[in-house]
Structure 1
Amino acid sequence: MTGDQSPVGTPPPGCPAHGDRYPLYQLADEAPAVYERLRARGPVVPVDLSPGVPASLITGYNEALRVLRDPTTFRKDPRGWQQTVPEDCPVLPLMMYRPNCRHADGAAHSRLRLAVTDSLDRVDLFALRGYVEKSAEILIGRFAGRGAGDLVADYARVLPLLVFNEMFGCPPDIGDRLVQGMSGIFDTVNAKQSNEIMRDAVLELVRLKRREPAQDVTSWLAEHPVELTDEEMMHQILTLLGAGTEPLQNLIVNGLRLLLSDERFAGDLSGGNLQVEDALDEILWTDPPLANFAMTYPREDVEFRGVTLPKDQPVVISLAAANTDPALATEHRGGNRAHLSWSAGPHTCPAQGQARLIASAAIEKVLDALPDMELAVPTHMLKWRPGPFHRALHSLPVNFPPVAVTRGDGGQAASTPAADVPAPKEGLAAVLSARRSAHGPTSRLGHLRRATRSWLRHG
């Protein structure tokens, strides 16, 4: 439940049945049911992003497209709204104006976005996959011998940082501060302090690359013909890191959750990484890592689908609600990329190709290294982090036979039984055996996955 528990049959506080603004900042475990209730109220719903911070949430797919494709009416510059909220507003660090392409319109947006897209286009995708695989092997090797792990804390939370450190030429000490700051902002916890940590770390990186350029995205931004200032460079990097750490972590975790729990994917013998790509398509439709985002601010009061959208008040796109709008009647999502999880219009995510490559390689790597991996708890017991913007699990606990992960031929990871890993205590072994017996479908998924991978490797 979000917020306080309510008696059976009584709408919870903030429910549309009460006619008030829904507290989006409390959104967590029951998100899909909340979106269904909000859509029933209409394609535009009043919400609070944090206590006392109102916004209009767009829940309809077609309405979302209309907003995202109309930058003349719905501008990205938040400074008019920013003047109306206190400095300690929890969502301010994520929404405040920065001179980046996300908050720019018109010619200013075109200039900044050109620097970003040109720099990203110089990334060698083959090398990028190598960064992911190398980083994944390091992380998997740290917990593979235990026979258990948390794919959030042990894997997905750290992996994007390691990859982005390579892409941006970021030293580890700066990277650690970046992740600390970004996580705090998305959780809206100590947001002001987190923003300062993140800003200082990126500015230090920018100045380092001005002095010592290399073959990385930060240096390419510095060299770009549009001649970005240090301040502009810092904010383009913050934007890319914001999209490439927390949301990418959530895409990896949500994809793994689906693959480990849904027999449609575990039993797919169609070949190669197709099941991973289909799972990512499914997640981007149904559980996008940024559930509510792509904020815009009307230039004037706007009448929209029978609702007045006030000037400068945030209009937030519910990517999750719009993607699952029943009006779409979209049941076959594999290979269908018409979802809004990368946004739409002139502000479509410029790094979606790189993000998808990182997520798919990360998922393939851990499934190949630990083919007998199973969820340690049923999916309904998994807990989601509350917050107005993201769709993020607290943890994704898994069990598997302990293995030693070694470097194989051709740079592939090879898994072998870990003979030097002590057997689990009898009590723990009994608990795990009982859990597998009690959740038969999860256990069957492990057998299906083993058969699939054996078939793919040996024919």
Structure 2
Amino acid sequence: MTSSSPSPTPPPECPAHGYPLYGQEFADSPAAAYAHLRQYGPLAPVTLHETVTASLVTSYEAALHILRSPETFSKDPRRWAGLQDGRIGPDNPLLPMMGYRPNALFTDGAEHARFRSAITDSLDRIDPIELREYVERSADKLIDAFETDGKADLRREYALVVPLLVFMEMFGCPPQIAEKLVRGMSGIFELVDAEKANALLFEGMVELVALKRAKPGADVTSWLMAHPAELSDEEMIHQLTLLMGAGTEPQQNLICNALRLLLSDDRFAGSLSGGTMPIDDALDEVLWTDPPMANYGVHFPVHDVDFAGTRLKAGEPIMVSFAAANTDPALAAEHRAGNRAHLAWSAGPHTCPAKDGARLIASVAIERLLDRLPDVELAIPAERLRWRPGPFHRALAELPVVFPPVDPASAAPPRRPPLPESTAPQLGDSTWPNSPARTSSTRPEATSTASTPGSAPADRPRWWHSLAVWRRGRSTTRP
């Protein structure tokens, strides 16, 4: 990238515990940490939170082998030796993210197949055309709220909210429940009062399941309930927790990280004349180098095993670093554009079942923002952006931008009907079609000011500005 923060010197780690992945220094420069850890070979000792240790997989080849070998490397945390011998207490803040839940992520074999079939069959009923249109309407509603200000924090005011609105619609979730779910999910990702956050998340899920049991509708929650897998209420709660976790926090990170790249890297400032697809290229680049879930493929050896020159003990956690594996020096970086062999969606039996929908949501949200605000710029240099600490995600704390304020008097009506004032779906009356999809493929405080952003030259051409002019016939009003 054209602008990046200086790489700090990795702190010395205690050999018994390993390199700490939970501090601000790691959040600010994970690439330096991965480079340091590679000196140990394909696996390196790390600390996830204070005394919770793991082996971090930094090699692409080793990661792929582990992800595709469930007979040797289990996803089931009930095998975690530290839980069995008392080293990991019941109040450990990592348990909400790493502890066992009866869902498709933390199970193997027939149990995993049963849960996954319910999830994939239910998600397949979402029409991608309906999804695209809903994301566009959600994006328009959010952009309407700040386009006249000339500045915004795109993380807080846009990227965080778009996935939530989509989740509410897809899962038939009213806003009062969604608020609990988001607060709880954010807390367990950032290890902030994780036990309380997990309780709040569980409370919200209990309410959602009870609501949909009483009044089912055309939504994913109701389809999960009606699936032949016959999920119990407890199993419903944990499948929904998995889907909520995968569909909100990582989704906002994907949108933010791609926007940061588009607004700060000169490689993505070309014109449309070359026939390229810059948004797709930016998403590919982020999924390779800054995946929203950087480190999360936790596995447990089912028995002692020698692997990649390391003796791994049964039940001791091995965490796949998707970010480190994707940037393995053994891979040819110049072949990343258009190449989707990255591990951002994991691999093997636990490959993300919603990757196509997640990519569509991010792509449409970014496209809509750049179409509506073609002169948007970072409000501060990219290297000054703050990152949220945590061992699992790659997450911006803010994304402040500036742009020429839109004159309210010149704004034309949107091209499709806007969302109602209340963006909550009508319970039991979702807009999603209650039938299989028609097609399987369709494509903290604001810190910004009104000053000229320092992230890029003022005369730097933007491909999306040309696109907006073309779409609008050189009009200054929105479509």
Q: Closer, same or farther in 2 for the Cα pair 1:103/1:448, shift >3 Å?
A: closer
How far residue 409 of structure 1 moved from its aligned partner, in angstroms, is 2.9
Instruction: Report if aligned partners of 1:271, 1:456 keep a CA contact under 8 Å in 2.
Output: no
Q: Closer, same or farther in 2 for the Cα pair 1:164/1:321, shift >3 Å?
A: same
1:22 corresponds in structure 2 to: 19
AA at the equivalent of 1:373: V
Indicate yes or no: 2:161 matched with 1:158.
yes
1:413-439 deviations in whole A, cap 9, x for unaligned?
Answer: 9xxxxxxxxxxxxxx65xx14x45xx5
TM-score, length-scaled by structure 2: 0.85
Q: Closer, same or farther in 2 for the Cα pair 1:64/1:10, shift >3 Å?
A: closer
Instruction: Report SS of the residue matched to 1:296.
Output: strand
Partners in 2 of 1:273 and 1:365 — Cα distance? Answer: 18
Instruction: Report SS of the residue matched to 1:402.
Output: coil
Instruction: Report if aligned partners of 1:24, 1:50 keep a CA contact under 8 Å in 2.
Output: yes
Instruction: Report SS of the residue matched to 1:28.
Output: helix
AA at the equivalent of 1:21: G
- In structure 2, which of residues 363, 367, 380 is the aligned counterpart of residue 364 of structure 1? 367
Instruction: Report if aligned partners of 1:129, 1:357 keep a CA contact under 8 Å in 2.
Output: yes
1:206-217 to 2 correspondences below 5 Å:
206-217=209-220
Which deviates more, 286-295 or 135-144?
135-144
Q: Closer, same or farther in 2 for the Cα pair 1:76/1:224, shift >3 Å?
A: same
1:74 corresponds in structure 2 to: 73
How far residue 118 of structure 1 moved from its aligned partner, in angstroms, is 0.2
AA at the equivalent of 2:121: D
Q: Closer, same or farther in 2 for the Cα pair 1:305/1:223, shift >3 Å?
A: same
2:33 corresponds in structure 1 to: 34
Which deviates more, 156-165 or 400-409?
400-409
Partners in 1 of 2:412 and 2:274 — Cα distance? Answer: 24
Instruction: Report SS of the residue matched to 2:120.
Output: helix
Instruction: Report SS of the residue matched to 2:333.
Output: coil
How far residue 141 of structure 1 moved from its aligned partner, in angstroms, is 1.3
1:206-355 to 2 correspondences below 5 Å:
206-270=209-273, 274-355=277-358
Dislocated runs of 4+, deviation >6 Å: none
Partners in 2 of 1:166 and 1:9 — Cα distance? Answer: 43
How far residue 258 of structure 1 moved from its aligned partner, in angstroms, is 0.6
More helix, by proportion: 1
Indicate yes or no: 2:466 matched with 1:451.
yes
2:386 corresponds in structure 1 to: 383
Instruction: Report SS of the residue matched to 1:326.
Output: coil
1:112-160 deviations in whole A, cap 9, x for unaligned?
Answer: 1000000000001111112211111111111111100101111111111
Indicate yes or no: 2:57 matched with 1:54.
no
Instruction: Report SS of the residue matched to 2:228.
Output: coil
Q: Closer, same or farther in 2 for the Cα pair 1:196/1:412, shift >3 Å?
A: closer
Partners in 2 of 1:347 and 1:452 — Cα distance? Answer: 38
Instruction: Report if aligned partners of 1:267, 1:449 keep a CA contact under 8 Å in 2.
Output: no
Instruction: Report if aligned partners of 1:272, 1:456 keep a CA contact under 8 Å in 2.
Output: no
Instruction: Report if aligned partners of 1:77, 1:97 keep a CA contact under 8 Å in 2.
Output: yes
2:429 corresponds in structure 1 to: none
Indicate yes or no: 2:450 matched with 1:408.
no
Partners in 2 of 1:407 and 1:133 — Cα distance? Answer: 14
Instruction: Report if aligned partners of 1:374, 1:446 keep a CA contact under 8 Å in 2.
Output: no
Instruction: Report if aligned partners of 1:373, 1:446 keep a CA contact under 8 Å in 2.
Output: no
Q: Closer, same or farther in 2 for the Cα pair 1:457/1:327, shift >3 Å?
A: farther
2:423 corresponds in structure 1 to: none
2:12 corresponds in structure 1 to: 13
TM-score, length-scaled by structure 1: 0.89
1:125 corresponds in structure 2 to: 128
1:330-360 deviations in whole A, cap 9, x for unaligned?
Answer: 3132221100000000000001011111110
Instruction: Report SS of the residue matched to 1:295.
Output: strand
Instruction: Report SS of the residue matched to 1:101.
Output: coil
Partners in 1 of 2:151 and 2:296 — Cα distance? Answer: 34
How far residue 406 of structure 1 moved from its aligned partner, in angstroms, is 5.0
1:422 corresponds in structure 2 to: none
- In structure 2, which of residues 199, 202, 227 is the aligned counterpart of residue 196 of structure 1? 199
Instruction: Report if aligned partners of 1:267, 1:445 keep a CA contact under 8 Å in 2.
Output: no
How far residue 12 of structure 1 moved from its aligned partner, in angstroms, is 1.9
Instruction: Report if aligned partners of 1:94, 1:186 keep a CA contact under 8 Å in 2.
Output: yes
Partners in 2 of 1:331 and 1:306 — Cα distance? Answer: 29
How far residue 452 of structure 1 moved from its aligned partner, in angstroms, is 4.4
How far residue 13 of structure 1 moved from its aligned partner, in angstroms, is 3.4
Greater length-normalized contact order (CA 8 Å, ≥ 6 residues apart):
2
Partners in 1 of 2:459 and 2:41 — Cα distance? Answer: 41
1:73-152 to 2 correspondences below 5 Å:
73-81=72-80, 82-83=83-84, 84=86, 85-152=88-155
Instruction: Report if aligned partners of 1:260, 1:442 keep a CA contact under 8 Å in 2.
Output: no
Which stretches in structure 1 are left out of the alignment for 5+ residues? Answer: 1-7, 414-427
Partners in 2 of 1:344 and 1:410 — Cα distance? Answer: 38
Partners in 2 of 1:205 and 1:52 — Cα distance? Answer: 35
AA at the equivalent of 1:349: C
2:399 corresponds in structure 1 to: 396
Partners in 2 of 1:9 and 1:257 — Cα distance? Answer: 21
AA at the equivalent of 1:24: L
Instruction: Report if aligned partners of 1:273, 1:364 keep a CA contact under 8 Å in 2.
Output: no
Identity %: 56
Partners in 1 of 2:366 and 2:345 — Cα distance? Answer: 19
Which deviates more, 44-53 or 324-333?
324-333
How far residue 36 of structure 1 moved from its aligned partner, in angstroms, is 1.4
Partners in 1 of 2:61 and 2:251 — Cα distance? Answer: 26
Q: Closer, same or farther in 2 for the Cα pair 1:270/1:287, shift >3 Å?
A: farther
Partners in 1 of 2:9 and 2:275 — Cα distance? Answer: 49
Instruction: Report if aligned partners of 2:17, 2:53 keep a CA contact under 8 Å in 1.
Output: no
Partners in 2 of 1:135 and 1:52 — Cα distance? Answer: 43
1:46-88 deviations in whole A, cap 9, x for unaligned?
Answer: 1011000010100000000010000000011101323341122
Instruction: Report SS of the residue matched to 2:324.
Output: helix
Q: Closer, same or farther in 2 for the Cα pair 1:388/1:170, shift >3 Å?
A: same
